[in-house]
Structure 1
């Protein structure tokens, strides 16, 4: 019985590491990948905000579907194996073969050449079959490390309150910042954004170089962080 649990633990560990590698090849950070893999396998913790990185990406969704099924079936396998062990003995040979196969796949995925090949395959599938609207925001906008997206809340004491963006962002065409839209309640303002007077309660979605955004909106960002 202890041998079975040890072998099965090796299989689970190998599966986790295999999918951590696969998720990382889709652009997900290692620490996020490992937590989400464990969450999906165990059915706990997957409701965190980081799960949107999985749900919003078509390839990650497919990998996640397998992990969820694997986790559910694993519990059934453990219960069935314990039952067989108590009744007629455990087939150690088959379990050892399954463990060896899983560890072999893990070892194969650790090879740099295999990882580069899979990365190209994943990228090819995204470029050929996936619409831009299906991709998560991170993969569409944040391709460069210096870029960022900021949802800026406007308060009564904000410097932008009761002013227009054209009055604040002089020569905004030359800046490395774009205001995508203004959210005013249920209304989304897209037309004439830079000439629209900003009101208390508005939310501005900003995109651009992080250093430029932090420098130009330092006061309003600090105020938002204090309020939130």
Structure 2
């Protein structure tokens, strides 16, 4: 009987550890299904090579969670399960095998039913999420995934030089939104930070801008100089963005027509 209890305790701890890790990974912006798969993969040492795995190892908080999962998985929980099973089989008399295997089967089946119960899962998820939010610091998110940085869209830092077209102007004068470029934040030369700048925000020389937009537009903006060619490039970028918006509007109309 002690061997069976030890086995159930080890299995329960394993499931609890992977559930906590799954919720922690979800808090960083990973989908719940991907988080659950990556947590179980890391804990068991399976090491599946997937696209989600690359997103995990390139993210500082996710990498830390996976590291702890690997440590706990290799430190003893899986080993304890194996050793308990071996002890359970080798020490039992042949006439007790059937009874013990039945107890083991029924216990694991009951544990599986509890874990798959929706009400229990909702309660456990809320409890784990509350604990992680109150006792840990998991504010680092996967911004590349949350901002849908796909295709040409990027977040890029741009250092404003004195001769740049951007230098010494207010944001409303630049009309960057009409080019499809958004200024997410500004880091000043003295390391002060301006978050979510508005139209009256002044762009100074040696400011570091955090920009969101198409890669080609951001690279062109980075090379734009404060002269007539810069103004021409700005007007060209506005026309290009307007053309893209018109194409997107046409695609939306066609998609609506196809649905009807």
TM-score (norm 2): 0.45
TM-score when normalising by structure 1: 0.49
Higher Cα radius of gyration: 2
